Amino acid sequence: MTAELEKEQQDKTAAASAAHPHVRSFVIRAGRMTAAQEQALIDLGPEFLVDVSALTPIDPAAVFGRKATLVVEIGFGMGKSFVEMAAADPDRNYLGIEVHPPGVGACMKSAKALGLANVRIIQHDAYEVLKFCLQPESVDILQIFFPDPWPKARHHKRRLINAEFIDLVRPVMKQGGQVRMATDWQEYAEEMLALFTQATGFVNTAPDGGYLPRPEWRPLTKFEQRGERLGHGVWDLVFRRQD
């Protein structure tokens, strides 16, 4: 992405946030992009990016050119596991939400290399996408894997998963739909568990009301492998939308 295009994207996100203020769970970092990532944003944007700058509802069938089970992932990072899941699951539509340009570029490049027709990307604040762009009862599966734990106490208000976030998630989920989460930060895992357990309209799928073993459908990342070697734990949660 050229400096001008990157600044334009950042200005759009900032303008939208100013129009609909809330505590943001992310900070757009000025990380260095590779030439391939920059070129992917230019060349592949028309194919993979969904324009939500108007903050109006999108039609998944129109976005993907078909009706299918909709999987939405918030914060896919560089997109490796997101693309891996989409490639192994071609009958479902995969919509990724990510704000960081290098990750968006890398994800599109990977999806194109694999010829994936079931991947689309929204480069925008997930809070606003949930609030304004996803239609009621349109999401079958919502995935949030390893969100920023904002470990310092004074930054906890920036955590993505909180009561306000759950209030935005509830209406967009189909009845029986799943919210899938994973974190390697135990205190954040305990907070997620407590928040969703207390929330109206969600039921824990773990038989004991706690955490699940790592599910086979979630790819094991290099990040997790490194954590395992260092003795770090990972906590998986799956809650089902149910009135």
Question: Model confidence at 151, in pLDDT bands (50, 70, 90)?
Answer: confident
Model confidence pLDDT, tens digit, residues 165-175: 999 999 999 99
Catalytic residue among 148, 184, 236, 243: 148
Task: Report the chain's mean pLDDT, rounded to a whole number.
Answer: 89
How many independent structural domains does the chain possess?
1
Contact criterion met (CB below 8 Å) for 179 and 202 = yes
Known catalytic residue: 140? Answer: no
Question: Model confidence at 117, in pLDDT bands (50, 70, 90)?
Answer: very high
Contact criterion met (CB below 8 Å) for 83 and 119 = yes
User: Which DSSP helix (H) or strand (E) runs through 120?
Assistant: strand 119-122
Model confidence pLDDT, tens digit, residues 68-115: 999 999 999 999 999 999 999 999 999 999 999 999 999 999 999 999
Q: What is the pLDDT of residue 25?
A: 46
For 41, the domain range is 3-241
One-letter amino acid at 230 equals: L
Does residue 142 carry a pLDDT above 60?
yes
Closest of 71, 100, 98 to residue 84, by C-alpha: 71
Model confidence pLDDT, tens digit, residues 1-51: 444 544 555 555 555 545 555 655 445 555 678 888 888 899 999 999 999
Residue 60 is part of a domain; what is its CATH number? 3.40.50.150
Helix (H, G, I), strand (E, B) or coil at 95: strand
Burial of 98 (0-12, 13-18, 19+ CB in 10 A): buried
Q: What is the pLDDT of residue 70?
A: 98
Burial of 154 (0-12, 13-18, 19+ CB in 10 A): exposed
